[in-house]
């Protein structure tokens, strides 16, 4: 947990945008004091393809946030999507030497579950305790303070390919930003936009990104599944470009300003403004036709979501869904999701914050604000992957540097 008044920067680096949010704890509450966003360059389908271009975007977003905040930040927390992430479940055991279970006993069991460690070329992002058993007692949430001799903990291990994480961290360093810790966007977003009762009953969080979308499932108050769907808002933009014969920038603008995911919600008389003709005369098109382009792609997305929920084995526990990301703000997205999934669906808004609330309280900024909230309020924002320690990423980085020197 950050100290009262200490300013922290949260960085959400995606395919479509780079978002930087500066904040601090003020009287125990998260206060957003700075905000900056830039169109993302150097990223394609969740993969960093141009480090210099990405570093420039990160630097511009951070500079904007610091300008608004009126101060510089010394700590930055980097959020990553699920593109290069996979999760698995493991069990750890700890012998209890004292009269009751201590926090150290629980930590030993979690660390035992994480051994022998991730596969080669991967790093451990998070190890999340799910259920605990103490001797014959099962289904325990927090066994600390209870008497027993043998503690077993089911743990959700979230791992990431080391190279993409390292590349993003290096891009941040080139932008003059020192990354202290790397956090899964889904985890941070969920803690900020999902209500406690939703997490208990079973909820799916879908973060609609540019080229991909991230899926997280919470049950019994815990994140039990994390994965990625290979479809996002950019697919809708491309469909609009082809259907209306306009460029990518015009298609994106039409999606954001006039898009609707259900044709039933649009009147036939509604018009949209299209690029001028060669003669310079303004042109108009049918907004209902625009919706007819968008709806099939969004239906495909939600069908993929439904299939992934079934594949995860969590189909019976998911009682509702929450949508975040820029595309979640489009008219008709939540009603279409409800129709496709057959469960209650709502758009997730950042909550529990003060300061620049009106600026950032939108689904598109759920990840960045959630990451800031996570960094400021968690006693240990990331117990495993911290870039200011001798972590696997640091060792991987040194190994890569040595290899480059040998080759060149």
Q: Is 116 exposed, middle or buried (0-12, 13-18, 19+ CB in 10 A)?
A: exposed
Name 31's Cβ contacts closer than 8 Å, sequence gap at least 6: 23, 24, 25, 353, 354, 355
Q: Which CATH architecture has domain 86-162?
A: 2-Layer Sandwich (3.30)
- Which residues lie across from 227 on neighbouring strands? 215
Q: Is pLDDT larger for residue 52 or for residue 209? A: 52
Asked which of 108-122, 137-151, 321-335, 380-394 is least confident by mean pLDDT, the reply is 380-394
Q: Is 323:337 a contact under the CB 8 Å cutoff?
A: yes
pLDDT grade for 307, boundaries at 50, 70 and 90:
very high
Tokens of 279: 């003669």
Neighbours of 225 (CB within 10 A): 22
d(CA 234, CA 46): 12
Residue 208 is inside which H or E element, if any?
strand 203-208
Please state the domain extents for the chain: 86-162
What is the pLDDT, as a whole number, of residue 387? Answer: 44
Decide if pLDDT at 344 tops 90.
yes
- Residue 137 CA to residue 61 CA, distance in Å, equals 50
Q: What is the mean pLDDT of residues 120-141?
A: 90
Distance CA 349, CA 336 (A): 18
pLDDT tens digits for range 234-285: 999 999 999 999 999 999 999 999 999 999 999 999 999 988 766 667 789 9
């Amino acid at each position: 947990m950050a100290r009262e008044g200490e300013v922290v920067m949260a960085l959400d680096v995606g395919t479509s945008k780079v978002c930087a949010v500066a904040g601090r704890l003020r009287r125990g509450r998260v206060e957003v004091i700075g905000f900056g966003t830039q169109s993302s360059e150097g990223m394609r389908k969740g993969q960093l393809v141009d480090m210099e271009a990405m570093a420039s975007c990160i630097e511009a977003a951070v500079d904007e946030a610091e300008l608004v905040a009126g101060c510089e930040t010394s700590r930055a927390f980097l959020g990553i999507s699920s593109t290069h992430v996979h999760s698995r479940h493991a069990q750890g055991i700890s012998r209890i030497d004292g009269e009751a279970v201590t926090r150290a006993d629980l930590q030993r069991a979690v660390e035992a579950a994480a051994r022998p460690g991730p596969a080669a070329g991967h790093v451990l992002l998070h190890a999340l305790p799910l259920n605990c058993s103490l001797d014959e007692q099962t289904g325990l949430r927090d066994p600390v303070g209870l008497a027993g001799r043998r503690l077993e903990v089911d743990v959700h291990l979230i791992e990431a390919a080391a190279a993409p994480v390292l590349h993003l961290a290096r891009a941040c360093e080139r932008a003059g930003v020192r990354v202290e810790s790397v956090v899964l966007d889904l985890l941070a977003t969920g803690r900020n936009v999902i209500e406690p009762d939703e997490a208990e009953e079973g909820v799916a969080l879908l973060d609609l990104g540019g080229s991909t979308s991230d899926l997280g499932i919470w049950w019994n108050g815990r994140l039990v599944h994390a994965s990625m769907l290979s479809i996002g808002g950019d697919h809708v933009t491309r469909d609009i470009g082809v259907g209306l014969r306009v460029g990518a920038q015009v298609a994106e603008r039409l999606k954001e300003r006039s898009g609707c995911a259900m044709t039933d919600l649009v009147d036939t008389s509604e018009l949209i403004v299209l690029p001028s003709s060669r003669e310079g005369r303004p042109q108009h098109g049918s907004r209902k036709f625009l919706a007819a382009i968008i709806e099939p792609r969004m239906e495909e997305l939600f069908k993929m979501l439904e299939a992934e929920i079934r594949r995860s084995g969590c189909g019976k526990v998911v009682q509702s869904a929450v949508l975040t990301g820029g595309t979640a703000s489009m008219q008709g997205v939540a009603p279409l999701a409800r129709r496709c999934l057959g469960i209650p669906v709502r758009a997730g808004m950042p909550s529990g914050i003060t300061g620049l609330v009106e600026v950032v309280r939108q689904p598109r900024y759920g990840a960045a604000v959630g990451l800031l909230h996570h960094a400021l309020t968690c006693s240990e924002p990331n117990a495993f992957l911290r870039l200011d320690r001798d972590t696997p990423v640091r060792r991987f980085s040194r190994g890569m540097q040595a290899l480059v020197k040998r080759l060149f």
